Chain A
């Protein structure tokens, strides 16, 4: 068995917000009919939460489910459980037009923490990150500077963000630069 490592092995940077590469996380791309009873049940039993509403992320502890598109979810579980979880979902959806794929090693995860977390992302993405517009539990696929990413709000001062593993260094660098002390805009 190979020793799995995350893209940046927990790299961190400190600024007016803290950027951390969050290590390995189990991630399953699940495509199918999101209104299907079988799919809803499979999601609930795997991640412990319901299928999220449009552009939302439901989390409980170290598991979460995010709405990617009208026919796609991102199911997140601990890395050690992902192979089993993928198999279980695929089995539960036998006979349905659905697909579950383990994409954990194709991705990198970051956390952006601190009172200025909103601002770090707002500088880099064409998304309204004001307190009124973007609230806890919301999920957004967009771009971060030149990279395709998705982020969601865990609580008022914590965002999580996923990107392609091959772009992890770029994403880390651009987040760190955006969070550099002294570069606060103070608008949000």
Chain B
């Protein structure tokens, strides 16, 4: 059972209150992008075995979208953070690298 704390309402929500929204921090291609970039944006996703940054929605709750950092293998949760950001805040990166010293946001972003 996955439990994520919603950063907006503070509820420690279990999985059935939440709706997964896939990989976080995707650069959205738009007018002027070429076909390859657009295809990459639409279809190519990282699928790491280990640390992952995801979007989740507190669907059966306050309704807000937020971000979560967790390990897809162990289900360990490093933390959750608000949606209004392009990258994880320092405390989340610190929580991840404390356990996974080799992890970096840059490498994670380059995984697709």
What residues make up the interface of A, taking CB atoms closer than 8 Å to B?
A: 54-55, 68-70, 126, 140-143, 148
Contact between chains at A143 and B62 (CB < 8 Å): no
Binds A, one of B8-16, B31-39, B71-79, B93-101: B8-16
CA distance A68 to B11 in the complex (A): 12
Interface size of B in residues (CB-CB distance below 8 Å):
14
Contact between chains at A68 and B62 (CB < 8 Å): yes
- Residues of B2-31 at the interface with A, using a CB-CB cut-off of 8 Å, are 8-11, 13-14, 16-17
CA distance A148 to B63 in the complex (A): 11
| B61 proximal to A (CB < 8 A) | yes
Closest to B12 in A: A128
Kindly identify which residue among B11, B17, B59, B60 contacts A55, using a CB–CB cutoff of 8 Å: B11
B61 neighbours in A (Cβ, 8 Å): 141-142
CA distance A69 to B10 in the complex (A): 10
Contact between chains at B64 and A142 (CB < 8 Å): no
A126/B16 contact (C-beta < 8 A), A142-B60, A148-B60 known: yes
Kindly identify which residue among A70, A126, A143, A148 contacts B9, using a CB–CB cutoff of 8 Å: A70
Contact between chains at A142 and B17 (CB < 8 Å): yes
